[in-house]
Amino acid sequence: MTKRHRNLIQRIIAPDNMAEALRLTSLGKRLSAGYLEFKEYDALNLGALTLELADGSYRAGTPQEFWIVDPKRRLISALPFRDRVAQQAVMLVVGPILDKAMLPRAFACRPGKGTHAGVTQLQADLRREERGGLVYFLKTDFSRYFASIERPVLWRLIEAKISCRATLRILAAMVPREGTGLPIGSLTSQILANLYCGATLDRYLQQELGERCWYRYMDDLVVLGRSSAHLRQVKEAIERYSAAYLGLRFSKWQIAPASRGINFLGYRIWPTHKLLRRQSVVRARRKLKAYRAAGDIAVGLGQDPDEAYARLSRFVGAWIGHASWADTHNLLVKLGMESAR
Protein backbone atom coordinates (compact mmCIF):
# COMPACT_ATOMS: atom_id res chain seq x y z
CA MET A 1 0.00 0.00 0.00
CA THR A 2 1.35 3.44 -0.94
CA LYS A 3 2.42 5.50 2.06
CA ARG A 4 0.73 8.90 2.29
CA HIS A 5 2.60 11.59 4.18
CA ARG A 6 0.87 13.72 6.80
CA ASN A 7 1.83 16.69 8.98
CA LEU A 8 4.31 18.16 6.50
CA ILE A 9 3.43 21.81 7.07
CA GLN A 10 5.54 22.15 10.22
CA ARG A 11 8.58 20.93 8.32
CA ILE A 12 7.88 23.39 5.48
CA ILE A 13 7.57 26.47 7.71
CA ALA A 14 10.41 25.49 10.04
CA PRO A 15 12.94 28.38 10.32
CA ASP A 16 15.82 26.25 9.03
CA ASN A 17 13.81 25.13 5.99
CA MET A 18 12.66 28.67 5.15
CA ALA A 19 16.21 29.99 5.52
CA GLU A 20 17.54 27.26 3.24
CA ALA A 21 14.81 28.05 0.71
CA LEU A 22 15.89 31.69 0.70
CA ARG A 23 19.55 30.71 0.29
CA LEU A 24 18.87 28.39 -2.64
CA THR A 25 16.55 30.86 -4.36
CA SER A 26 19.18 33.60 -4.01
CA LEU A 27 21.86 31.66 -5.88
CA GLY A 28 22.65 33.53 -9.07
CA LYS A 29 20.01 36.19 -8.27
CA ARG A 30 21.91 38.54 -5.98
CA LEU A 31 21.87 41.38 -8.50
CA SER A 32 18.21 40.99 -9.46
CA ALA A 33 15.66 43.60 -8.41
CA GLY A 34 13.46 40.96 -6.77
CA TYR A 35 16.27 39.68 -4.57
CA LEU A 36 17.45 43.15 -3.57
CA GLU A 37 13.91 44.20 -2.65
CA PHE A 38 13.34 41.05 -0.58
CA LYS A 39 16.80 41.23 1.02
CA GLU A 40 16.32 44.80 2.29
CA TYR A 41 13.96 43.50 4.99
CA ASP A 42 14.65 39.81 4.63
CA ALA A 43 13.72 38.79 8.19
CA LEU A 44 10.36 40.57 7.98
CA ASN A 45 9.66 39.34 4.45
CA LEU A 46 10.56 35.75 5.29
CA GLY A 47 8.48 35.93 8.46
CA ALA A 48 5.46 37.26 6.56
CA LEU A 49 5.80 34.57 3.91
CA THR A 50 6.09 31.88 6.59
CA LEU A 51 2.91 33.13 8.25
CA GLU A 52 1.01 33.06 4.94
CA LEU A 53 2.11 29.48 4.30
CA ALA A 54 1.16 28.48 7.85
CA ASP A 55 -2.33 29.99 7.96
CA GLY A 56 -3.32 29.15 4.38
CA SER A 57 -3.53 32.74 3.15
CA TYR A 58 -0.65 32.36 0.66
CA ARG A 59 -1.50 33.34 -2.91
CA ALA A 60 0.99 33.32 -5.77
CA GLY A 61 1.89 36.60 -7.42
CA THR A 62 1.58 37.45 -11.10
CA PRO A 63 4.43 36.00 -13.18
CA GLN A 64 6.35 37.92 -15.80
CA GLU A 65 5.97 36.11 -19.13
CA PHE A 66 8.35 36.19 -22.08
CA TRP A 67 9.30 34.01 -25.05
CA ILE A 68 12.63 32.30 -25.65
CA VAL A 69 13.91 30.20 -28.56
CA ASP A 70 16.30 27.47 -27.32
CA PRO A 71 15.85 25.75 -29.76
CA LYS A 72 12.04 25.61 -29.67
CA ARG A 73 9.94 28.69 -29.06
CA ARG A 74 8.75 28.51 -25.44
CA LEU A 75 6.71 30.80 -23.19
CA ILE A 76 8.53 31.27 -19.87
CA SER A 77 6.72 32.36 -16.70
CA ALA A 78 9.06 34.01 -14.18
CA LEU A 79 7.48 34.27 -10.74
CA PRO A 80 8.22 37.07 -8.26
CA PHE A 81 11.16 36.32 -5.97
CA ARG A 82 9.04 35.64 -2.86
CA ASP A 83 6.99 33.06 -4.77
CA ARG A 84 10.17 31.27 -5.82
CA VAL A 85 11.18 31.18 -2.14
CA ALA A 86 7.77 29.68 -1.28
CA GLN A 87 8.09 27.03 -3.98
CA GLN A 88 11.59 26.15 -2.84
CA ALA A 89 10.43 25.79 0.78
CA VAL A 90 7.61 23.43 -0.24
CA MET A 91 9.72 21.35 -2.61
CA LEU A 92 12.54 20.91 -0.11
CA VAL A 93 10.05 18.81 1.86
CA VAL A 94 7.68 17.50 -0.83
CA GLY A 95 10.25 16.89 -3.58
CA PRO A 96 11.99 13.91 -1.91
CA ILE A 97 8.60 12.32 -1.20
CA LEU A 98 7.51 12.58 -4.83
CA ASP A 99 10.92 11.39 -5.99
CA LYS A 100 10.28 8.02 -4.33
CA ALA A 101 7.51 7.41 -6.87
CA MET A 102 10.10 7.56 -9.67
CA LEU A 103 12.05 4.71 -11.22
CA PRO A 104 15.86 4.83 -11.60
CA ARG A 105 15.79 5.45 -15.36
CA ALA A 106 14.06 8.83 -15.12
CA PHE A 107 16.88 11.40 -15.20
CA ALA A 108 15.29 14.88 -15.12
CA CYS A 109 15.23 17.12 -12.04
CA ARG A 110 16.43 14.49 -9.57
CA PRO A 111 19.35 14.41 -7.12
CA GLY A 112 22.19 12.31 -8.50
CA LYS A 113 20.67 12.17 -11.98
CA GLY A 114 20.73 14.72 -14.83
CA THR A 115 21.71 14.79 -18.48
CA HIS A 116 25.19 13.35 -18.10
CA ALA A 117 23.96 10.46 -15.94
CA GLY A 118 21.34 9.67 -18.59
CA VAL A 119 23.86 9.76 -21.43
CA THR A 120 26.34 7.62 -19.48
CA GLN A 121 23.71 4.99 -18.66
CA LEU A 122 22.48 4.83 -22.24
CA GLN A 123 25.98 4.38 -23.65
CA ALA A 124 26.90 1.75 -21.06
CA ASP A 125 23.78 -0.26 -21.93
CA LEU A 126 24.46 0.14 -25.64
CA ARG A 127 27.92 -1.39 -25.19
CA ARG A 128 26.51 -4.33 -23.26
CA GLU A 129 23.55 -4.97 -25.57
CA GLU A 130 25.73 -4.72 -28.70
CA ARG A 131 27.59 -7.87 -27.62
CA GLY A 132 24.41 -9.86 -28.22
CA GLY A 133 23.85 -8.63 -31.77
CA LEU A 134 22.19 -5.78 -33.63
CA VAL A 135 20.50 -3.16 -31.44
CA TYR A 136 17.68 -0.82 -32.46
CA PHE A 137 16.30 2.22 -30.67
CA LEU A 138 12.93 3.94 -30.35
CA LYS A 139 13.05 7.70 -29.76
CA THR A 140 9.87 9.64 -28.93
CA ASP A 141 9.03 13.22 -28.05
CA PHE A 142 5.67 14.47 -26.75
CA SER A 143 3.96 17.45 -28.34
CA ARG A 144 3.74 20.54 -26.07
CA TYR A 145 4.42 18.45 -22.99
CA PHE A 146 4.06 21.06 -20.23
CA ALA A 147 1.04 22.64 -21.89
CA SER A 148 -0.69 19.25 -22.29
CA ILE A 149 -0.49 18.03 -18.69
CA GLU A 150 -3.98 17.39 -17.33
CA ARG A 151 -4.04 18.80 -13.81
CA PRO A 152 -6.76 16.50 -12.40
CA VAL A 153 -4.58 13.52 -13.36
CA LEU A 154 -1.55 15.20 -11.82
CA TRP A 155 -3.44 15.92 -8.60
CA ARG A 156 -4.41 12.28 -8.22
CA LEU A 157 -0.71 11.44 -8.31
CA ILE A 158 0.09 14.13 -5.74
CA GLU A 159 -2.68 13.03 -3.37
CA ALA A 160 -1.55 9.42 -3.66
CA LYS A 161 1.61 10.50 -1.80
CA ILE A 162 0.52 13.46 0.34
CA SER A 163 -2.43 13.77 2.72
CA CYS A 164 -1.38 16.88 4.70
CA ARG A 165 -4.26 19.30 4.05
CA ALA A 166 -2.23 22.42 4.74
CA THR A 167 0.46 21.34 2.30
CA LEU A 168 -2.12 20.44 -0.35
CA ARG A 169 -3.70 23.87 0.11
CA ILE A 170 -0.37 25.56 -0.57
CA LEU A 171 0.24 23.39 -3.62
CA ALA A 172 -3.23 24.25 -4.92
CA ALA A 173 -2.32 27.95 -4.65
CA MET A 174 0.71 27.22 -6.83
CA VAL A 175 -0.84 24.66 -9.21
CA PRO A 176 -4.63 24.83 -9.73
CA ARG A 177 -6.51 21.54 -9.54
CA GLU A 178 -8.50 22.05 -12.72
CA GLY A 179 -7.52 22.75 -16.28
CA THR A 180 -4.59 21.81 -18.45
CA GLY A 181 -0.95 22.80 -18.51
CA LEU A 182 1.92 23.81 -16.25
CA PRO A 183 3.92 27.02 -16.78
CA ILE A 184 7.53 26.60 -17.85
CA GLY A 185 10.00 28.29 -15.55
CA SER A 186 8.99 27.34 -12.00
CA LEU A 187 10.40 24.71 -9.66
CA THR A 188 7.03 23.09 -9.00
CA SER A 189 6.42 22.71 -12.73
CA GLN A 190 9.73 20.89 -13.25
CA ILE A 191 9.20 18.42 -10.41
CA LEU A 192 5.49 17.82 -11.05
CA ALA A 193 5.95 17.48 -14.82
CA ASN A 194 8.58 14.83 -14.16
CA LEU A 195 6.21 13.04 -11.76
CA TYR A 196 3.44 13.08 -14.39
CA CYS A 197 5.18 10.47 -16.55
CA GLY A 198 7.40 9.10 -13.79
CA ALA A 199 4.55 7.64 -11.74
CA THR A 200 2.56 6.48 -14.77
CA LEU A 201 4.19 5.92 -18.15
CA ASP A 202 7.55 4.81 -16.72
CA ARG A 203 5.85 2.14 -14.63
CA TYR A 204 3.71 1.03 -17.55
CA LEU A 205 6.79 0.75 -19.74
CA GLN A 206 8.82 -1.26 -17.23
CA GLN A 207 6.22 -3.22 -15.28
CA GLU A 208 3.51 -3.85 -17.88
CA LEU A 209 5.51 -3.97 -21.11
CA GLY A 210 8.59 -5.50 -19.45
CA GLU A 211 11.12 -3.14 -21.03
CA ARG A 212 14.39 -2.83 -19.13
CA CYS A 213 16.55 -0.60 -21.36
CA TRP A 214 14.73 2.71 -21.42
CA TYR A 215 15.78 6.27 -20.56
CA ARG A 216 13.52 9.28 -19.99
CA TYR A 217 14.39 12.92 -19.48
CA MET A 218 11.10 14.80 -18.99
CA ASP A 219 9.30 14.23 -22.32
CA ASP A 220 12.24 12.71 -24.23
CA LEU A 221 12.17 8.91 -24.19
CA VAL A 222 14.57 6.32 -25.64
CA VAL A 223 13.97 2.55 -25.61
CA LEU A 224 16.49 -0.06 -26.81
CA GLY A 225 15.39 -3.31 -28.45
CA ARG A 226 16.49 -6.23 -30.60
CA SER A 227 14.18 -5.56 -33.55
CA SER A 228 12.36 -2.70 -35.20
CA ALA A 229 9.15 -4.77 -35.17
CA HIS A 230 9.27 -5.13 -31.39
CA LEU A 231 9.97 -1.42 -30.88
CA ARG A 232 7.07 -0.53 -33.16
CA GLN A 233 4.79 -2.54 -30.86
CA VAL A 234 6.26 -0.69 -27.86
CA LYS A 235 5.70 2.63 -29.61
CA GLU A 236 2.07 1.83 -30.36
CA ALA A 237 1.46 0.63 -26.79
CA ILE A 238 2.87 3.73 -25.09
CA GLU A 239 1.18 5.97 -27.65
CA ARG A 240 -2.21 4.42 -26.77
CA TYR A 241 -1.51 4.59 -23.04
CA SER A 242 -0.33 8.21 -23.14
CA ALA A 243 -3.34 9.38 -25.13
CA ALA A 244 -5.87 7.47 -23.03
CA TYR A 245 -4.59 8.21 -19.53
CA LEU A 246 -2.36 11.28 -19.77
CA GLY A 247 -3.70 13.33 -22.67
CA LEU A 248 -0.28 13.26 -24.37
CA ARG A 249 0.52 12.76 -28.04
CA PHE A 250 3.79 12.30 -29.88
CA SER A 251 5.14 15.22 -31.87
CA LYS A 252 7.69 12.91 -33.49
CA TRP A 253 9.18 9.46 -33.14
CA GLN A 254 11.92 7.38 -34.73
CA ILE A 255 12.94 3.72 -34.91
CA ALA A 256 16.40 2.99 -36.32
CA PRO A 257 19.53 0.86 -35.82
CA ALA A 258 21.68 2.14 -32.95
CA SER A 259 24.64 2.10 -35.35
CA ARG A 260 23.29 5.40 -36.76
CA GLY A 261 23.82 7.11 -33.41
CA ILE A 262 21.11 8.05 -30.91
CA ASN A 263 20.26 11.73 -30.47
CA PHE A 264 19.60 12.19 -26.76
CA LEU A 265 20.13 15.11 -24.37
CA GLY A 266 22.28 17.16 -26.71
CA TYR A 267 24.58 14.32 -27.79
CA ARG A 268 24.71 11.77 -30.58
CA ILE A 269 25.61 8.50 -28.91
CA TRP A 270 27.28 5.32 -30.20
CA PRO A 271 28.63 2.43 -28.12
CA THR A 272 32.20 3.60 -28.77
CA HIS A 273 31.94 7.38 -28.65
CA LYS A 274 29.72 10.46 -28.29
CA LEU A 275 29.51 13.63 -30.37
CA LEU A 276 27.69 16.87 -29.81
CA ARG A 277 24.54 17.32 -31.83
CA ARG A 278 24.99 19.58 -34.83
CA GLN A 279 22.44 22.13 -33.57
CA SER A 280 24.36 22.48 -30.29
CA VAL A 281 27.50 23.40 -32.23
CA VAL A 282 25.58 25.83 -34.47
CA ARG A 283 24.08 27.61 -31.45
CA ALA A 284 27.50 27.77 -29.77
CA ARG A 285 29.04 29.40 -32.86
CA ARG A 286 26.27 32.00 -32.95
CA LYS A 287 26.59 32.87 -29.26
CA LEU A 288 30.38 33.10 -29.47
CA LYS A 289 30.06 35.48 -32.41
CA ALA A 290 27.43 37.59 -30.64
CA TYR A 291 29.34 37.88 -27.34
CA ARG A 292 32.61 38.74 -29.09
CA ALA A 293 30.84 41.31 -31.25
CA ALA A 294 29.26 42.90 -28.15
CA GLY A 295 32.70 43.29 -26.57
CA ASP A 296 34.18 44.77 -29.75
CA ILE A 297 31.26 47.21 -30.08
CA ALA A 298 31.74 48.35 -26.49
CA VAL A 299 35.43 48.99 -27.14
CA GLY A 300 34.59 50.89 -30.34
CA LEU A 301 32.14 53.11 -28.45
CA GLY A 302 34.63 53.80 -25.68
CA GLN A 303 32.55 51.80 -23.17
CA ASP A 304 33.66 49.22 -20.64
CA PRO A 305 33.65 45.82 -22.39
CA ASP A 306 34.13 43.85 -19.16
CA GLU A 307 30.48 42.80 -18.80
CA ALA A 308 30.30 41.54 -22.38
CA TYR A 309 33.53 39.61 -21.97
CA ALA A 310 32.34 38.27 -18.60
CA ARG A 311 29.22 36.90 -20.28
CA LEU A 312 31.43 35.35 -22.96
CA SER A 313 33.63 33.75 -20.30
CA ARG A 314 30.61 32.30 -18.44
CA PHE A 315 29.16 30.89 -21.64
CA VAL A 316 32.47 29.34 -22.71
CA GLY A 317 32.93 27.73 -19.30
CA ALA A 318 29.42 26.26 -19.25
CA TRP A 319 29.55 25.05 -22.85
CA ILE A 320 32.95 23.43 -22.42
CA GLY A 321 31.57 21.64 -19.38
CA HIS A 322 28.82 20.23 -21.61
CA ALA A 323 31.13 19.50 -24.54
CA SER A 324 33.77 17.75 -22.42
CA TRP A 325 31.40 14.79 -21.97
CA ALA A 326 31.76 14.07 -25.69
CA ASP A 327 34.70 13.48 -28.03
CA THR A 328 35.26 17.13 -28.88
CA HIS A 329 39.01 17.88 -28.80
CA ASN A 330 39.21 18.81 -32.49
CA LEU A 331 35.97 20.81 -32.30
CA LEU A 332 37.19 22.88 -29.32
CA VAL A 333 40.44 23.62 -31.15
CA LYS A 334 38.50 24.74 -34.23
CA LEU A 335 36.29 27.01 -32.11
CA GLY A 336 39.27 28.47 -30.28
CA MET A 337 38.10 27.09 -26.93
CA GLU A 338 40.78 24.49 -26.20
CA SER A 339 42.84 26.97 -24.16
CA ALA A 340 39.82 27.67 -21.94
CA ARG A 341 39.67 24.06 -20.66
Residue 128 — very low, low, confident or very high, per pLDDT cuts 50/70/90?
Answer: very high
In the predicted structure, residue 165 carries a pLDDT above the cut 70? yes
Cβ neighbours for 60, distance < 8 A, ≥ 6 positions apart = 79, 83, 86, 173, 174
- CA dist 121 and 292 (Å) reads 36
Q: Which of 64-68, 80-84, 271-275 has the highest mean pLDDT?
A: 80-84
Give pLDDT, residue 29.
Answer: 84
Model pTM score: 0.85
Q: Average pLDDT of the chain?
A: 89
Q: Per residue in 284-340, pLDDT tens?
A: 777 777 777 766 665 565 556 666 667 767 776 776 777 767 776 666 666 666 555
Instruction: Give the torsion sign (CA, 264, 270, 274, 280).
Output: negative
Of residues 271 and 332, more confidently modeled: 271
* H-run or E-run covering 309: helix 306-323
What integer pLDDT is reported at residue 1 of this predicted model?
44
pLDDT of residue 65: 86
Contact 221, 215 (CB under 8 A): yes
| pLDDT 10s digits, 103-122 | 999 999 999 999 999 999 99
pLDDT at 134 over 90: yes
